[in-house]
Amino acid sequence: MMLHKRFLGILVGLTVVAAAFGQGAFSFKINEVVVTNTHGLIDEYGERSGWIEIANTSWGTNNIRSCYLTTNREALNKDLSVPERVKLMSLVPKGDERTNLTAQQRIVFFADGHTNLGTLHTNFTLKEGEENFIALFDGNGKTLLDSITVPPLAENQSYARVYDSDSEAYVWMVLDAEEVTPGAPNAGQGKVQDKVAEFKEKDPYGIAMSIMAMGVVFGCLLALYVFFRLFGYAVTLVSKMARVRAIRAVRDQADKAAVMAKQGMETKGVDMKVYMAVIAMALRDYEEDVHDVESNVLTYHTEEHSEWNAKGYTMREWPE
C-alpha cells in the first residue's frame, strides 16, 4: 500500500513538473506597445515614455527575470554567439517580485534608455513615427520567445494583441488612445482579448463562476458515488455467485457420499455394478434353466462352436 502511494506521489510530481515546463518562458507574449506616450501611463518617477507590455498567457505563475528585450534585428542572426547577442539586448534583472507573473498577468517595461532607473526600464528607446522591431528572448540568450514589428503609430496609439471572437484567434491591431489598456486585457473595436476577460465583464462578482465550479465538483462527486456503488454491487454479486457455486459443489459431493454409503450398507460393501451384474446373470440362468443341481457350479450347454468347446483351448501343446 505504501509503495502504491509513493508511486502515485512520484507520478503526480512528474505531471506537475511537465506542466510547469510546458507553461514556462514560452508563455510570455508581447501584448501591447505604445511608441509615443504624451498623456498616458507614467513610471514610478512620474515620467512618460514609450512602453512595452508583456503578458503571461499561461494559467500558472512564471517569472520573466533574466529574459531579454531588444529592438535590434541583428539579434536574430543565428551566427552570433550568446555573449555577442546579449550585448544587443536589454536584460530583465533578478530580485524584483514584480517580474513574477501569475496566471494571465501582465507587466509593462518603459523603453526610456535608462536601466539605472530600475527593473522595469530598458536600455533602448522606441523610434517615433517609424516602424519598431521588438523581440523577446529567453534567459539563455539564444531562444526567441516572441517578436513583432510595430507599424508607425500616432501619439498615444497602441499596437495591441487582441482576441478576435469571430476567427477565434489572436490578431494585432492599432488601438486609439481611449482604448489603450496597460496592464489589463486589450479590447478594441468590439474585439476582446480572450474569453476569460469577456466572462469577467459579464460576471463581475463571480457568481456564475462559483455556481459552475460547485456544479463541476458535485457532478464529479456524484459520478464517483455512482461508480463505486455499481462497482460494489458487481463485486458483491460475483462473491455471492462464487459462494453459491461452492455450496452446490459441497452439497453434490455430500449427496454422492450419502448414496454411496447407503448402497454400501445394502450390498455389504460390494460395488453396486458388480452386485447388479451377478443378480442379472443369476436371473438369466434361472430363466433358461441352465443351472444344474451342483452347488456353486454353473453349467452351460451349447452345441454351437464357441470358445467353451474349442479344441485349441484343450491342447497343452501346439501340434507339430
Residue 80 has pLDDT above 90, yes or no: yes
Instruction: Identify the pLDDT of residue 256.
Output: 77
Residue 204 has pLDDT above 90, yes or no: no
By percentage, how much of the chain surpasses pLDDT 90? 50
Residue 78 has pLDDT above 50, yes or no: yes
Residue 35 has pLDDT above 80, yes or no: yes
**Which whole number is the average pLDDT over 98-102?**
95
pLDDT level of residue 145 (50, 70, 90 thresholds): very high
**Which whole number is the average pLDDT over 252-280?**
69
Distance CA 219, CA 178 (A): 44
- pLDDT digits 0-9 by tens, 103-118: 989 999 999 999 999 9
Instruction: Identify the pLDDT of residue 249.
Output: 86
Here the cell at position 23 is 507553461
| pTM > 0.75 | no
Which of 3-12, 86-95, 296-305 is the most confident on average?
A: 86-95
User: Which range, of 92-96, 109-113, 245-249, averages the lowest pLDDT?
Assistant: 245-249
Distance CA 47, CA 123 (A): 16
Residue 262 has pLDDT above 50, yes or no: yes
**Which whole number is the average pLDDT over 55-67?**
92
Could you tell me the residue ranges of all domains in the chain? 22-192, 208-290
Residue 28 has pLDDT above 90, yes or no: yes
HEC per residue, the chain: CHHHHHHHHHHHHHHHHHHHHHCCHHHEEEEEEECCCCCCCCCCCCCCCCEEEEEECCCCCEECCCCEEECCHHHHCCCCCHHHHHCCCEECCCCCHHHEECCCCEEEEECECCHHHCCCECCCECCCCCCEEEEEECCCCCCEEEEEEECCCCCCCEEEEEEECCCCEEEEEEECHHHCCCCCCCEECCEECCHHHHHHHHCCCCHHHHHHHHHHHHHHHHHHHHHHHHHHHHHHHHHHHHHHHHHHHHHHHHHHHHHHHHHHHHCCCCCHHHHHHHHHHHHHHHHHCCCCCCCCCCCCCCCCCCCCCCHHHCCCCCCC
Residue 21 has pLDDT above 60, yes or no: no
Q: What is the distance between the terminal CA atoms of the chain, rounded to a whole angstrom?
A: 88
Instruction: Identify the pLDDT of residue 100.
Output: 96
Whether 292 contacts 299, CB under 8 Å: yes
pLDDT level of residue 272 (50, 70, 90 thresholds): low
**Which whole number is the average pLDDT over 273-291?**
70
pLDDT level of residue 16 (50, 70, 90 thresholds): very low
CATH architecture entry for 22-192: Sandwich (2.60)
Here the cell at position 240 is 455471492
pLDDT level of residue 278 (50, 70, 90 thresholds): confident
Which of 14-28, 181-195, 243-257, 300-314 is the most confident on average?
A: 243-257
Instruction: Identify the pLDDT of residue 32.
Output: 96
Locate cell 519598431: which residue?
Answer: 132
